[in-house]
A and B are shown apart, each in its own frame.
Chain A
Amino acid sequence: MLNIALPKGRLGDQVYALLAQIGYDCGSIYEQNRKLVFESKENNVRYLLVKPSDVAIYVEHHAADVGIVGKDILAESRPDVYELLDLGLGKCRMCVAAKSDYMEDKDRTLRVATKFVNIAKDHYAKLNRDIDIIKLNGSIELAPILGLSDVIVDIVESGSTIRENNLKIIEEFMPISARFIANKTSFKFQNETIRQMVDKLSMVLNQIEGR
């Protein structure tokens, strides 16, 4: 039985639809109720619905064998897992944004508000820029408006939230998309099963892209 950790929400639904298409469906049980575990004995898979930011933790600790998780979360928490496939779903970008009239003063320590502390630190370390991190958990866009920070580092999908809040994107530095990850032990002991899943997934993704 292969345990698959899916992120709750739209991405999880999309990926489940893909997996169901290539022979890993759970019948109609998936959408029906608020259960967190779905199992298909005949297809030998069990789906676990977990908070998106917890997928990598489930996989790293072997509670799930494989999982689907955004690159933003992988880059932030750097779990010890194999990153086997870029699904190309849930595409967005990691951006630096600031108020639309913002001009950078390189002579001052930059105040950065973000949910992604490690990503922001790494990014500015590469630029040799001194920063103060302000860790927020949501509504990051408010920070520059209220003068809490100079800039924000956050994921941007369409950019409409940024525009509506009178902010502008200064820099894009990391393309984000959903990744298929596997636990290292599972990958060794259930190699055939996982490899087959990866091959089938990449085939069906190529078909969609080619269309």
Chain B
Amino acid sequence: MTIQIDMLKPTEVATLAMRGLYEDFGYKKYRMSRFEEYSLYAANQQFLSDDKVITFTDLDGRLLALKPDVTISIIKNTKATKNSREKVYYLESVFRENKESHTFHEISQMGLEVLGNVDSYAIIEVLQLAAKSLSLIGKNYLLVLSNMDFVLGLLESVGIGEESYSQILPLIEGKNNAELRRALWELNLKEEDISAICSLTSLYGDCQKTLEIADKMVQNDRMAQAVSILQEVYQALDCNDMADCLQLDFSMVNDVDYYNGIIFQGYLEELPRKVLAGGQYDGMVKKMGKDAAGIGYAIYLSDLERMPQTKASYDVEALVLYDTDVDTTELFQAVRSLRKNGMRVLTERVVPPEIRYEKLYRFQNGILQEVKKEC
């Protein structure tokens, strides 16, 4: 049997292609149970995007939850340390609240994680796999990079503490210059500091140019290191002809509790929002008591259903109709002969509603005859 690609959904094609890609780089598929002890999420709630989890009591009395997140479970179970790395990928469902409908939704995710020693090579490999994954889904894609340490370093240098993050970071993320300026003004900052932070909202675009500007804004070691790692990453990806689909955007900030260092998001031209999100999450790994660092990403497969699909013109090439008094052995042989010609064959007594077929056959008196369509 041959598998016709146009029979498959875009999600299925992408999933298969990505599995091949990850296996090529030595990543192992990670399979986990659908349920997880609820206490894991209760203890690590700050790492979840919201606090809504589906819970139930198992027959033995334990409180279980349907996974709202995969990375936490992988970290919990990893044996990776500073000296031994673990590279895994997964294809799992997570259950989260849909903010629009206020109901729980099952979201299909494919993701990849490197745990253990995360050096520049690991970062570059993960970014490269993220970009390649996007290219397997759509032609026009962008991988947008940032380094949280640059933004947080800048806020640190002007004396903005963590207590103001929840107010300031969403404004930077929304590129909302007008309100950001107002909010910083209320924090009694100097005009030059306000301008520096506001300039983050427009600090995006071509990597090389953006990095040059960012380099001039450096105020402390944290920012300098953030720029230098981005430079190293850019050079490596540029040498592999991947610079065209790469952008920097320093206004991109992600959950401070979850991520640190390099963060990235993937966009496809056809889809309204990011389809890939990831970054380094060393803090979370340490908080969960492991002597390791981590980087990874997730691709939201459910959103890929919205990708435009070239629909096959027919559901089947041949529709064969037969009567009640037919010799079933002969009919079966006739159908097989059509199948041998590579046709998809649907055999029915009457024409079913809502079926698109290329040719209509009638099997009568041991003979298969094509019925010409009426004009």
* Closest B residue to A71 using CB positions: B179
Which residues from chain A contact B274 at a C-beta distance below 8 Å?
A: 184
Contacts of A62 in B (CB 8 A): 271-273
Would A185 and B178 be within 8 Å (CB), given that A61-B272, A191-B205 are in contact?
no
Tell me if A83 and B272 are in contact (CB < 8 A): no
Closest to A186 in B: B272
Is A188 located at the chain interface by the 8 A CB criterion? yes
Q: Mark A73-98, 1 if CB is under 8 A from B, else 0.
A: 00000001111111000000000000
Give A83 to B142 CA distance when docked, in angstroms.
21
The distance from the CB of B94 to the nearest CB of chain A, in whole angstroms, is 18
Pairwise interchain contact B271-A185, C-beta atoms closer than 8 A: yes
Within 8 Å by CB of A86, from B140, B178, B267, B271, lies: B178
Residue of A nearest to B205 (CB): A191
Of A60, A86, A191, the residue contacting B179 (CB under 8 A) is A86
Q: Could you tell me if A82 and B175 are in contact, using CB atoms closer than 8 angstroms?
A: yes
Q: Does B174 belong to the interface (CB within 8 Å)?
A: yes
Q: Would A188 and B175 count as touching, CB distance under 8 A? A: no
Contact (Cβ within 8 A) B144 A188: yes
**B175 close to A60 (CB less than 8 A):** no
Q: Which interface residue of A60, A183, A184, A191 has the most chain B CB atoms within 10 A?
A: A184
**Chain A minimum-CB-distance residue to B275:** A185
User: In the bound complex, what is the Cα–Cα distance between A82 and B178 (angstroms)?
Assistant: 12
Do B174 and A189 touch across chains, with their CB atoms under 8 A apart?
no
Task: For B269, give its contact among A61, A82, A189 (CB under 8 Å).
Answer: A189
Q: Could you tell me if A81 and B267 are in contact, using CB atoms closer than 8 angstroms? A: no
Residue of A with least CB distance to B251: A82
A residues near B (Cβ < 8 Å) are 60-62, 80-86, 183-185, 188-189, 191
Return chain B residues, CB-CB under 8 Å to A86.
Answer: 178-179
B93: Cβ under 8 A from any A Cβ: no
Other-chain residue from A61, A84, A183 in contact with B175 (beta carbon distance below 8 A): A84
Residue of B nearest to A187 (CB): B175
Bound form: Cα–Cα A125–B36 in Å: 33
CB distance from A178 to the nearest CB of B (A): 12
Provide the main secondary structure of the chain A interface.
mixed
Q: A61-B272, A188-B267 are in contact. List 15 more A-B contacts (CB 8 A).
A: A60-B273, A62-B272, A82-B175, A83-B174, A83-B179, A85-B178, A86-B178, A86-B179, A185-B268, A185-B269, A188-B142, A188-B144, A188-B247, A189-B267, A189-B269
| Contact of A184 with B273 at beta-carbon distance under 8 Å, contacts A189-B267, A191-B205 already known | yes
For the complex, give the distance between the alpha carbons of A113 and B135 in Å.
50
Residues of A within 8 A of B269 (CB): 185, 189
When distances are taken between beta carbons in the complex, the residues of chain B under 8 Å from A183 are: 272
Show 23 residue pairs from A and B whose CB-CB distance is below 8 angstroms, ordered by the A residue.
Answer: A61-B272, A62-B271, A62-B273, A81-B174, A82-B174, A82-B175, A82-B176, A83-B174, A83-B175, A84-B176, A84-B177, A85-B177, A85-B178, A86-B178, A184-B273, A184-B274, A185-B272, A185-B273, A188-B142, A188-B267, A189-B142, A189-B267, A191-B205
Count the B residues whose beta carbon is within 8 Å of the partner chain — how many? 18
Q: Mark B254-298, 1 if CB is under 8 A from A, else 0.
A: 000000000000011101111000000000000000000000000
| Complex-state Cα separation, A84 to B176, whole angstroms | 6
Cα of A191 to Cα of B140 in the assembled complex, Å:
14
Residues on B with beta carbons closer than 8 Å to the beta carbon of A84: 175-177
Task: Report the nearest A residue to B144, measured CB to CB.
Answer: A188
Task: Tell me, in angstroms, the Cα distance from A85 to B272 when the chains sit together.
Answer: 20
Contact for A189 among B140, B179, B205, B273, CB less than 8 A: B140
Docked complex Cα distance between A60 and B140 (Å):
19
Interface members, chain B 30-67 (any A CB < 8 Å): none
Shortest CB-to-CB span from B244 to chain A, Å, is 13
Report the bound CA distance from A189 to B274 in whole Å. 12
Q: Is the CB of A184 within 8 A of B179?
A: no
A189 to B174, CA, bound (A): 17
Q: Do the beta carbons of A185 and B174 come within 8 Å of each other? A: no
Query: Which residues in B have their C-beta under 8 angstroms from that of A83?
Result: 174-176, 179
Contacts of B268 in A (CB 8 A): 185
In the complex, the 9 A-B pairs of residues with the closest C-beta atoms, listed nearest first = A62-B272, A86-B178, A83-B176, A82-B175, A83-B174, A189-B269, A185-B267, A61-B272, A188-B267
- Identify the closest chain A residue to B175 (Cβ): A82
Closest to B252 in A: A184
Tell whether, in the assembled complex, residue B272 and residue A60 are in contact, meaning their CB atoms are under 8 Å apart. yes
Closest Cβ–Cβ distance, residue A54 to chain B (whole Å): 13
Q: Measured between alpha carbons, how far is A189 from B140 in the docked complex, in Å?
A: 9
The docked-state distance in angstroms from the alpha carbon of A85 to that of B175 is 9
| Residues of chain A with a CB closer than 8 A to B273's CB | 60, 62, 80, 184-185
Q: How long is the Cα–Cα vector from A174 to B141 in the complex, in angstroms?
A: 38
Tell me the bound Cα distance from A188 to B272 in angstroms. 11
CB of B54 to closest CB in A, whole Å: 23
How far is B178's CA from A83's CA once the two chains are assembled, in angstroms? 9
Closest to B181 in A: A86
Closest Cβ of chain B to A132, distance in Å, is 19
Residues of A within 8 A of B247 (CB): 188
Q: Which of B239-259 contact A (CB under 8 A)?
A: 247
Say how far A79's CB is from chain B's closest CB, in angstroms: 10
Determine the chain B residues whose CB is within 8 A of the CB of A61 once the complex forms: 272
Closest to A78 in B: B99
In the complex, A82 Cα to B176 Cα: how many Å? 7
Chain B CB within 10 Å — which of A81, A84, A85 has the most? A84
